[in-house]
Amino acid sequence: SQQGEEDPQALSIQEGENATMNCSYKTSINNLQWYRQNSGRGLVHLILIRSNEREKHSGRLRVTLDTSKKSSSLLITASRAADTASYFCATASFGNTGFQKLVFGTGTRLLVSP
Amino acid sequence: DVKVTQSSRYLVKRTGEKVFLECVQDMDHENMFWYRQDPGLGLRLIYFSYDVKMKEKGDIPEGYSVSREKKERFSLILESASTNQTSMYLCASSLLPQGHYEQYFGPGTRLTVT
């Protein structure tokens, strides 16, 4: 399995600071996606970056992708207490059938203190 | 707004019982998924369906079956529940099986098998 692995497993910061999470994976991908999960809830899609893109922004989120290193990072700037959640990367490959299949990592738990 | 609903937030069943988990999406999405989420293991794909009456095994299909009789509804069935199936179950949908699409998740069903 080409499961993504997030680093660090847990991150604790103060409001206003930036949070950086990293994701590494093993095989070639078509795109990489980041999701957020609040405690005990479903996942919410944050951002998708295609394999031919290097950087993408969405509000306070910045995602980079380095396919040569098989790694991605998610930066949350000026963090807020409401950003407290678990963050997952998911690698997408299309496979022989052409259907997109996501493989999720184990996540980074982010705690933002007021 | 995109919406994926799951029939129960919490469910307690006894070993050997037949269990049905229901998922409904209102977005006319072609693709639907069932995952289970366990601490330290992330999300793992059980089954997915790319069309009505069509299904494909995911990474951990053993002990599970699925049904998709209507486009908006995807059911996960535990034929004979066992304690190792105690987990959080997440349903998701995406617009099309092919292409770069994000997945939309339901709130999850926390199943306990005693």
Average pLDDT of the segment spanning B55-70: 95
CB contact under 8 A, A106 and B100: no
Q: Please indicate whether residue A98 or residue A38 has the higher confidence score (pLDDT).
A: A38
Residue A38 has pLDDT above 80, yes or no: yes
DSSP-derived 3-state class of residue A82 = helix
Mean pLDDT of chain A, nearest integer: 92
List helix spans (H) across B17-82. none
- What pLDDT does residue B2 have? 66
Cα distance between residue B78 and residue B96, in whole Å: 27
Q: B10 is written with which tokens?
A: 């919490």
Which residue among B58, B98, B107 sits closest to A42, beta carbon to beta carbon?
B107
Mean pLDDT of chain B, nearest integer: 94
Cα distance between residue B90 and residue B109, in whole Å: 7
Using an 8 Å Cβ cutoff, are A53 and A65 in contact?
yes
Cα distance between residue B37 and residue A92, in whole Å: 18
Q: Please indicate whether residue A41 or residue B77 has the higher confidence score (pLDDT).
A: B77
Report residue B97's pLDDT band, with 50, 70 and 90 as the boundaries: confident
Chain B, nearest residue to A101 by Cα: B97
Nearest CA to B6 out of A64, B19, B16 is that of B19
Chain A segment 22-81 residues within 8 A of B by beta carbon are 30-31, 33, 35, 40-45, 48, 50
Using an 8 Å Cβ cutoff, are A91 and A103 in contact?
yes
Cα distance between residue A100 and residue B45, in whole Å: 12
Percent of chain A with pLDDT over 70: 97
CB-facing half-sphere around the CA of B89: CA atoms within 13 A: 32
DSSP bridge pairs for B111: B11, B87
Residue A2 has pLDDT above 70, yes or no: no
Cα distance between residue A6 and residue A28, in whole Å: 17
Average pLDDT of the segment spanning B63-86: 97
Percent of chain B with pLDDT over 70: 98
Using an 8 Å Cβ cutoff, are A21 and A108 in contact?
yes
Residue B104 has pLDDT above 90, yes or no: yes
- What pLDDT does residue A3 have? 63
DSSP-derived 3-state class of residue B84 = helix
- What pLDDT does residue A94 have? 81
Report residue A100's pLDDT band, with 50, 70 and 90 as the boundaries: confident
- What pLDDT does residue A101 have? 84
Average pLDDT of the segment spanning A95-109: 85
Using an 8 Å Cβ cutoff, are A10 and A108 in contact?
yes
DSSP 8-class letter at B9: S
